[in-house]
Structure 1
Amino acid sequence: MANRANSRFSPYPQRPTRGMTDDGDVHNHRGGTHNHNHLARHGLLPLPQTAFFQQESQAPIFNGPIAGNVNHYASGIGALQTLYDHSATGAMHDSNERFPPPMCHPGTREAVVIRINDWYGYQQGPGKPIMWVHAPAGYGKTAIAGTISKMLAEIVGLDFIPLGATFFFWRTSPERNNSTRFVITIAYQLAMSIPELAPHVENAVEVNPMILRKALEVQLVKLIVEPFKAIGELRGIPNRLVIIDGLDECINSEQESRVAKKYAEDQEIVQVRVLDLIRTLQSHNLPLSFLILSRPEAWIKEHIESRSFANMVEVVDLYAVGDHMNDVEKYVRAELSRIAAKIGDMEWPTESTVDSFVWKANGHMAYASTVVRHIDDPYDDPRKRLKDILDAPTGSNPDFAHSTPFSSLYELYRQIMRSCPESNRSLMVEILENIIVTADFFSASHGFSGLFATLDSLSGRAAGCGARAIRGLHAVLCVSDRSSKRSSSLPNPFIHSSFVEFLTNPMLSLDFAVDKKKGSRRLLWNCLECMAVINSQSEGEGDHLRFALCTFQFLWVRAWSSKEDAQLHQDEYVKLVQKLLTIDLTACFIKSLEQPGILHPAFTNGAAVGSNFAHSLEHLPKESDPLSQQAIMHLLSSTEQAMLDIYKQPQAVLKIKLLHESKLQGYLTKLYNLSTNSNRRKSDEVAQALNQLRLNLQRWPNNWFNESPPLGWSSNIRPILDYIRQNDL
Structure 2
Amino acid sequence: MPLFEGSHNFVINGGIFNDSSTNGLGPLVFLQGHSASGAAHDSEERYPPPSCHPQTRIRTIEHIIVWIRLPRTQRSKSVFWLFAPAGMGKTAIAQTIAEKCEEMGVLAGTFFFHRSNTDRNRASKLVASLALQISTSIPPTRQHIENAIRANPAILTKSLPIQLKKLIIEPVLAVGSIDNDRAIIIDGLDECIGPPTTSQEQEQHQVLELIQTLLSSNLPLIILIFCRPETWITESFNALPVLSGATERFDLYRNSDLDHDVEVFLRSEFSKIATRTKQKPGKRAGKWPADEDIKALISRASGQFIYAATVVRYIGDPWHTPRDRLRNVFSAKVPEGHNPLEGLDNLYLEILGQSQNLEMTREVLACLRECQYMSNFDTLVDLTISKARSCEIVCRWPPHALRGLTSLVQTDGIFQQHSFYHGTFFEFLSSPNRSKQFYTDAASGGLTFLQKMLEYLAFRETSGSSEQILGDGDDGDYSDSDSSSAHSPEISAEGFAAAVWPELWFKYLREASTVPGVLYDAFLSYRFSFNNLPRLYWESRLLDELVLMGLGPHVQRDFHRVQQCLSHLQGEYDRQVKAALGMLDLDDRDFIRGLVDQQLCRPQPVLDGSYRISHDGFLGRMGTHQGLYKLIHSPGLTESGGDEFFLNPEFLAFLATPSRSEGWYRVPDMLPEIASQFHDPNHILEWAPLSQSADEIVQKLKTSFKLKHAQVFASSINTSILRCICYKNVSMALTLMEFFKDRWSGQSERPVLPEHKVLVPVYTAYLSSPSSFYPDTHSSSA
TM-score by length of 1: 0.69
Give the Cα separation in 2 of the matches to 1:425 and 1:128.
40
8 Å CA contact 2:386–2:410 kept in 1: the answer is no
The residue aligned with 1:241 is 183
The residue aligned with 2:429 is 503
Give the Cα separation in 2 of the matches to 1:613 and 1:402.
45
8 Å CA contact 1:607–1:639 kept in 2: the answer is no
- Kindly state the Cα deviation for residue 87 of structure 1 after the two structures are TM-superposed: 0.9
The residue aligned with 1:448 is 385
1:658-673 equivalences under 5 Å are none
1:471 is the counterpart of 2:397: no
The residue aligned with 1:172 is 116
The residue aligned with 1:142 is 91
Q: Give, as a single letter, the amino acid of the residue that structure 2 aligns with 1:402.
A: H
The residue aligned with 2:294 is 354
8 Å CA contact 2:107–2:137 kept in 1: the answer is yes
Q: CA RMSD in A?
A: 4.4
8 Å CA contact 2:510–2:552 kept in 1: the answer is no
The residue aligned with 1:721 is 644
CA distance 1:187–1:715, change in 2 (3 Å): farther
RCO higher in 1 or 2 (8 Å CA, sep ≥ 6)? 1
Q: Give, as a single letter, the amino acid of the residue that structure 1 aligns with 2:84.
A: A
1:95-114 equivalences under 5 Å are 95-114=43-62
Give the Cα separation in 2 of the matches to 1:651 and 1:338.
79
1:430 is the counterpart of 2:363: yes
Instruction: Show CA shifts across 1:354-411 (max 9, x none).
Output: 2222222222211111111111122222122213323x45xx3245x833x6222111
The residue aligned with 1:118 is 66
- SS of the equivalent of 1:136 reads coil
- SS of the equivalent of 1:320 reads coil
Instruction: Show CA shifts across 1:493-552 (max 9, x none).
Output: 211111122223333223322443233323333455567789999895574766665544
Instruction: Show CA shifts across 1:192-238 (max 9, x none).
Output: 1111011111111122111111111110011111222333xx22454
Q: Give, as a single letter, the amino acid of the residue that structure 1 aligns with 2:189.
A: L
Instruction: Show CA shifts across 1:278-313 (max 9, x none).
Output: 121122122211111111122222333442224411
Instruction: Give the one of 166, 169, 172 matched to 1:225.
Output: 169
- Kindly state the Cα deviation for residue 609 of structure 1 after the two structures are TM-superposed: 4.7
CA distance 1:677–1:95, change in 2 (3 Å): farther
The residue aligned with 2:760 is none
Instruction: Give the one of 187, 211, 226 matched to 1:293.
Output: 226
Give the Cα separation in 1 of the matches to 2:461 and 2:84.
49
CA distance 1:677–1:168, change in 2 (3 Å): farther
Instruction: Give the one of 264, 271, 281 matched to 1:330.
Output: 264
The residue aligned with 2:31 is 83
CA distance 1:713–1:139, change in 2 (3 Å): farther
Q: Give, as a single letter, the amino acid of the residue that structure 1 aligns with 2:213.
A: T
1:341 is the counterpart of 2:275: yes
Give the Cα separation in 2 of the matches to 1:517 and 1:606.
29
- Kindly state the Cα deviation for residue 715 of structure 1 after the two structures are TM-superposed: 5.7
- Kindly state the Cα deviation for residue 319 of structure 1 after the two structures are TM-superposed: 1.3
Give the Cα separation in 1 of the matches to 2:53 and 2:149.
41
8 Å CA contact 1:546–1:592 kept in 2: the answer is no
- Kindly state the Cα deviation for residue 315 of structure 1 after the two structures are TM-superposed: 1.4
Instruction: Show CA shifts across 1:171-197 (max 9, x none).
Output: 111111110100000000000111101
- SS of the equivalent of 2:552 reads coil
Query: Gapped runs of 5+ residues in structure 2?
Result: 3-15, 282-287, 468-489, 586-594, 604-609, 626-634, 648-782
8 Å CA contact 1:551–1:603 kept in 2: the answer is no
Give the Cα separation in 1 of the matches to 2:276 and 2:579.
73
- SS of the equivalent of 2:108 reads strand
CA distance 1:286–1:715, change in 2 (3 Å): same
The residue aligned with 2:329 is 389
Instruction: Show CA shifts across 1:679-711 (max 9, x none).
Output: x9xxxxxx9999999654424499xxxxxxxxx
8 Å CA contact 1:550–1:603 kept in 2: the answer is no
Aligned length in residues: 575
Q: Which has the larger radius of gyration?
A: 2
Give the Cα separation in 1 of the matches to 2:642 and 2:579.
20
TM-score by length of 2: 0.65
Greater mean deviation of Cα atoms: 146-155 or 176-185: 146-155
The residue aligned with 1:408 is 343
Q: Give, as a single letter, the amino acid of the residue that structure 2 aligns with 1:331.
A: F
Greater mean deviation of Cα atoms: 533-542 or 613-622: 533-542
Give the Cα separation in 1 of the matches to 2:562 and 2:161.
73
8 Å CA contact 1:609–1:639 kept in 2: the answer is no
8 Å CA contact 1:135–1:475 kept in 2: the answer is yes
- SS of the equivalent of 2:400 reads helix
The residue aligned with 1:592 is 530
- SS of the equivalent of 2:341 reads helix
Greater mean deviation of Cα atoms: 540-549 or 530-539: 530-539
Give the Cα separation in 2 of the matches to 1:602 and 1:163.
63
Give the Cα separation in 2 of the matches to 1:720 and 1:314.
56
Give the Cα separation in 1 of the matches to 2:461 and 2:256.
55
Query: Gapped runs of 5+ residues in structure 1?
Result: 1-36, 38-58, 62-70, 156-160, 483-488, 653-670, 681-686, 703-711, 725-729
- Kindly state the Cα deviation for residue 91 of structure 1 after the two structures are TM-superposed: 0.5
8 Å CA contact 2:455–2:525 kept in 1: the answer is no
The residue aligned with 1:375 is 315
1:519 is the counterpart of 2:437: no
Q: Give, as a single letter, the amino acid of the residue that structure 1 aligns with 2:181.
A: N
8 Å CA contact 1:534–1:540 kept in 2: the answer is yes
Give the Cα separation in 2 of the matches to 1:272 and 1:719.
66
8 Å CA contact 2:408–2:420 kept in 1: the answer is yes
Instruction: Give the one of 597, 616, 620 matched to 2:554.
Output: 620
Instruction: Show CA shifts across 1:614-641 (max 9, x none).
Output: 243132385x364377368647856985
8 Å CA contact 2:387–2:417 kept in 1: the answer is no
Give the Cα separation in 1 of the matches to 2:462 and 2:219.
71
Q: Give, as a single letter, the amino acid of the residue that structure 2 aligns with 1:93.
A: H
8 Å CA contact 2:134–2:141 kept in 1: the answer is yes
Give the Cα separation in 2 of the matches to 1:606 and 1:186.
71
8 Å CA contact 1:279–1:309 kept in 2: the answer is yes
CA distance 1:383–1:274, change in 2 (3 Å): same
Instruction: Show CA shifts across 1:402-460 (max 9, x none).
Output: 33x6222111112212234x1x443233223232334637638423368646754x54x
8 Å CA contact 2:81–2:225 kept in 1: the answer is yes
Q: Give, as a single letter, the amino acid of the residue that structure 1 aligns with 2:123.
A: S
- SS of the equivalent of 1:180 reads helix
Give the Cα separation in 2 of the matches to 1:131 and 1:533.
44
Q: Give, as a single letter, the amino acid of the residue that structure 1 aligns with 2:383.
A: H
8 Å CA contact 1:550–1:605 kept in 2: the answer is no
Give the Cα separation in 1 of the matches to 2:623 and 2:36.
76
Give the Cα separation in 1 of the matches to 2:538 and 2:553.
26
- SS of the equivalent of 2:317 reads coil
The residue aligned with 1:319 is 253
